[in-house]
Amino acid sequence: MPERIGFVSTRFAGLDGVSLESAKWAQVLWDHEHTSHWYAGRLDRAEDISLCVPEAYFGHPENQWINDRIWGTHARDPLVSQRIRDLSAYLKETLYTFVDRFDISILVIQNAVTIPMNLPLGVALAEFINETQIPSIAHHHDFYWERQRFMVNAVHDYLDLAFPPRHPNLQHVVINAAAQEDLSWRRGVSSILIPNVLDFENPPPPIDEYASDVREAIGLEPGDVMILQPTRIVPRKGIEHAIKLVEMLGDPKYKLVVSHEAGDEGYEYHHILKELAQAAGVDIRFIATRIGEVRQLDADGRKIYTLWDLYRHADLISYPSLYEGFGNALLEALYFKVPVLINRYAIFARDIEPKGFRLPVMDGFLTRSVVDEVRRLLDEPAYRQDVVDNNYAMAKRFFSYSVLRRSIRTLITNITGLDDL
């Protein structure tokens, strides 16, 4: 029997991991006749299947007022407690409206009871599940205890209540083995590990006419080699290692292209990278103004490309991250059959590396042998093809929609007792 699934988060819009992975879940559910509906404070889903509640967005002024007074301190004013309760009560009412309007039979909570970007929403969800007994799945992407800025706080009582809540009707899903262990010993609950996935059963289409001029648009010459850093400019992405790689390759034809902007963590790191590149004689291109969530024209009539347009033109992906919850950019590189230089961050070393991928891997710093492997991938087309074909096959086996399909079948069966997915 088809279920009506209600996805809940603070935001379903853009290219963040939560929005992307929830869309993949919805696609798999849709393929099996389950319908999906959406609740969030910011949405880019169709209005007729969604409920947008601005107060659920983590950037809403009321939520920001609360956040300014609960993190980085141990003291909580009674007024703050009252406003948390008031906002939580209002959000709980809107959850009732959402479930009633679309006749929701299963909730899928996307990170909203995992990381307290909107604490009142998490509290509202915990109470809502207790009051309604609605079968629910909590898909956890990154827990609050993984973020230093949440360690000192004045809301331990609410975190214990709702991040995540414990309830017999609530199933927990994590994206890596470390999170599974942490959740077990910190909260005493079991979980199912479902990695992030891509549709490896259906390879990406070739470059179309719109994206055919990407290299020219960002100023590359015909003989240039494009090394793409497909991430935001934040310190944990380790972009200084990408600069060092280009320096060690030692040829002006190698260009480092950074796709995204600095975002909300400040611009100091951006300035440092520019200085490092200049000192190393590395040609680095920051092209965030030419990259968007969808294809369009900017105010000057120039094309705006998507990140996936860039992958089709890249010669190498640089991914020297110090930490990742999983690593979507790695999967995307494998999907587009682009070689990847990767740093051995913890989740990669534990959950991904043992699967049999062939990648040049640095272990915190670049060595001459890693750079030589990168050069071989760039200079020997037959070797490159063999490597990327192997990596695609491994990704299809371990990180495809079929993996997600089997896992969701288990979750739905656990909740409903019916194996109809």
In a domain, 421, yes or no: no
The predicted pLDDT at position 420 comes to: 54
Q: What is the CATH number of the domain that holds 177?
A: 3.40.50.2000
The C-alpha atoms of residue 408 and residue 421 are separated, in whole angstroms, by 8
Q: With contact defined as beta carbons under 8 Å apart, do 167 and 131 qualify? A: no
Whether 204 maps to a domain, the answer reads: no
> In this structure, are residues 388 and 337 in contact, taking their beta carbons and an 8 Å threshold?
yes
Note whether residue 50 is domain-resident.
yes
Q: What is the pTM of this model?
A: 0.87
C-alpha closest to that of 347 among 100, 127, 141:
141
pLDDT digits (tens, 9 = 90+) for 165-188: 999 999 999 999 999 999 999 999
- Provide the pLDDT for residue 59: 94
The verdict on residue 205 lying in a domain is: no
Beginning with the edge strand found earlier in the chain, give each strand of the sheet holding 106-110 in spatial order: 50-52, 35-40, 4-8, 106-110, 136-139, 170-174, 192-193
Measured distance CA(290)–CA(135) in Å, rounded = 43
Q: CA–CA separation, 413 vs 102, rounded Å? A: 22
**How many other C-beta atoms can be found within 10 angstroms of the C-beta atom of residue 98?**
20
6, 108 contact by CB (below 8 A): yes
Q: What is the pLDDT of residue 1?
A: 67
C-alpha distance from residue 279 to each of 240, 243, 274 (Å): 12, 10, 9
Whole-angstrom distance, CA of residue 296 vs CA of residue 307? 13
Is the peptide bond prior to 360 cis by the omega test (within 30 degrees of 0)?
no
Q: Kindly state whether residue 84 falls inside one of the protein's structural domains.
A: yes
The per-residue pLDDT for 111 is 96
Q: How much is the pLDDT for 374?
A: 97
96 lies in the same domain as 167? yes
**pLDDT tens digits, 87-116:** 999 999 999 999 999 999 999 999 999 999
Residues 284 and 306 occupy one common structural domain:
yes
Domain that holds residue 248: 210-398
Q: Which two tokens stand for residue 173?
A: 């899903």
Q: Which two tokens stand for residue 70?
A: 């609960």
Are 28 and 177 within one domain? yes
The tokens for 180 are: 């599974």
> Is 338 among the domain residues?
yes
Residue 57 in any domain: the answer is yes
Coil/strand/helix, residue 69: helix
How many domains are contained in the chain?
Answer: 2
Ranges of the chain with pLDDT below 50? none
- Residues 129 and 169 both lie in one domain: yes
pLDDT at 261: 87
Same domain, residue pair 101 and 9: yes
CB 316 within 8 A of CB 341: yes
Q: Is residue 203 part of a domain?
A: no
Angle at CA of residue 338, ends 370 and 371, nearest 5°: 15
